[in-house]
Structure 1
Amino acid sequence: MKYKILNKASEMFLNLGFKSVTMDDIASALGVSKKTIYSHFANKNKLVEESTSLIFEKVCQGINFICGKEENSIKELFEIKKFVFTNFSNENISPQHQLQKFFPEIHQKMKNKHFGMMKACIEKNLKRGIKDGLFLPNLNTDFVTRIYFTGINGIKDEHIFPEKEFRKKELMTDYLQYHIKAISTTKGIEKLEQIINNKQN
């Protein structure tokens, strides 16, 4: 039952927001009493914490699967973006913003875990891209990784990129293209344009 509650809570938090969803909402969606939920989770904070951990694990599994295919580095970045956006983004609400505002300690903890996972993934991606001649040979991979992570989090900032003015999917695509163009060789730019043209067609 605990895992069933976690799965439903995670789904609802992503679709409706961490603040918006109440324990009553989750109990109603599962057809159980609120007492049943509290028998597994002492309070909402604990449920949010474990739900974010479950979401993080699912993100890691998906990204590790994509990286395991060892596509060219540019295609890999687009595949990761597609996976994350399709499964863990919502055009209408900002779960990340609600988590940061109402559960700051949990948000910071997840941000640290996210950075650790992203750092390993992007550094590997950069090194393979350099080896394949897609990325500039003199890149400082540690610096680029941190800039990429900072940018990914920056475009989620509701104050800088308000949802009424910027669609999440287009914003993520624009940022990814910006990142790739900044670090690519001529060969890399050609590969990027090929991927963009294929998606448009």
Structure 2
Amino acid sequence: MEIKERILEKAEALFWKFGTRSITMDDISRDIGISKKTLYQHFVDKDDIVYQVILYRMDKNRENVSCHISTAHDPIEEILLGSEMLRQQLSDMNPALMIDIQRHYPRAWEICTEFKEKFILESIRLNLRRGIEQGLYRSEIDVEIMARLRVELIRMAFDTDVFPKGLAAMIEVQIQLLHHFVRGILTEKGSIIYNQYVQKYQNVPASTTR
């Protein structure tokens, strides 16, 4: 592995665990086992590292989402596989990370915003359209409104004013919001398939109301 990619992976792990504000260039170089001189040969400063870590992560996320889309049997499994990917990423993420980036690293936050607007939203729109075409999602839903609602539900789970830290783990909040969203758009046919999948992906009880 090239030294720059190794730095990005190690820095990402530190940021995910501790947030960005408490991690210094000294911490990064010490964790990797390289000198600060070597670190500065690849990155201008900490702002540059945060920016490139987020760029690196968003590229990986695009690859992972595309892989899930290609392997899913239908739009319902696709969205549940996406939830599993999100669960894996959030399991060791410091809840303050995204807030820190938004407040203190505008270049990195711009990458997050662009990823949301140009990739996540479009992926959800396509999923909703395919689900409607296959009779799994209700035909009367407004695709644009529901796509933006889904994105806002993801964002909301990070908001400690809405969901305080002691209330529940962030990943549990994400799971509950996802399945609330999915159940609201399913047809009867979709509900049957959905309940089969949640027996496979054991991260939420199957619906008892459909």
The question of a shared fold, defined as TM-score above 0.5 by the shorter chain, is answered with yes
Per the alignment, do residues 11 and 57 of structure 1 end up closer, same or farther by CA in structure 2, a change over 3 Å counting?
same
Alignment of 1:165-180 (within 5 A): 165-180=167-182
The aligned residue for residue 190 of structure 1 is: 192
Alignment of 1:4-43 (within 5 A): 4-43=6-45
Q: Which deviates further from its counterpart, 129-138 or 12-21? A: 12-21
For residue 89 of structure 1, report the CA deviation from its aligned partner: 4.1
For residue 2 of structure 1, report the CA deviation from its aligned partner: 2.2
- Which residue identity is paired with 2:129? K
**Maintained 8 Å contact 2:125/2:147:** yes
The aligned residue for residue 81 of structure 2 is: 79
For residue 81 of structure 1, report the CA deviation from its aligned partner: 1.1
Alignment of 1:57-68 (within 5 A): 57-68=59-70
Q: Distance in 2 between matches of 1:15 and 1:122?
A: 28
SS at structure 2 position matched to 1:39: helix
Q: Distance in 2 between matches of 1:88 and 1:162?
A: 16
**Maintained 8 Å contact 1:2/1:40:** yes
Q: Which deviates further from its counterpart, 13-22 or 84-93? A: 84-93
**Maintained 8 Å contact 2:55/2:108:** no
**Maintained 8 Å contact 2:51/2:107:** no
Unaligned runs of 5+ in 1: none
Q: Which deviates further from its counterpart, 91-100 or 159-168? A: 91-100
**Maintained 8 Å contact 1:15/1:93:** no
CA offsets, 1:140-190, max 9 Å, x none? 212211111111111211221122212122211111111111211111222
Is residue 140 of structure 1 aligned with residue 150 of structure 2?
Answer: no
**Maintained 8 Å contact 2:135/2:187:** yes
Using the size of structure 2 for normalisation, the TM-score is: 0.87
**Maintained 8 Å contact 1:91/1:168:** no
- Which residue identity is paired with 2:19? G
For residue 44 of structure 1, report the CA deviation from its aligned partner: 0.5
**Maintained 8 Å contact 1:49/1:106:** yes
2:133 to 131, 134, 139: 131
Aligned pair count reads 201
Q: Distance in 2 between matches of 1:58 and 1:116?
A: 15
Q: CA RMSD in A?
A: 1.9
**Maintained 8 Å contact 1:17/1:94:** yes
Per the alignment, do residues 60 and 82 of structure 1 end up closer, same or farther by CA in structure 2, a change over 3 Å counting?
same
Using the size of structure 1 for normalisation, the TM-score is: 0.91
- Which residue identity is paired with 2:62? C
**Maintained 8 Å contact 1:14/1:95:** yes
**Maintained 8 Å contact 1:129/1:135:** yes
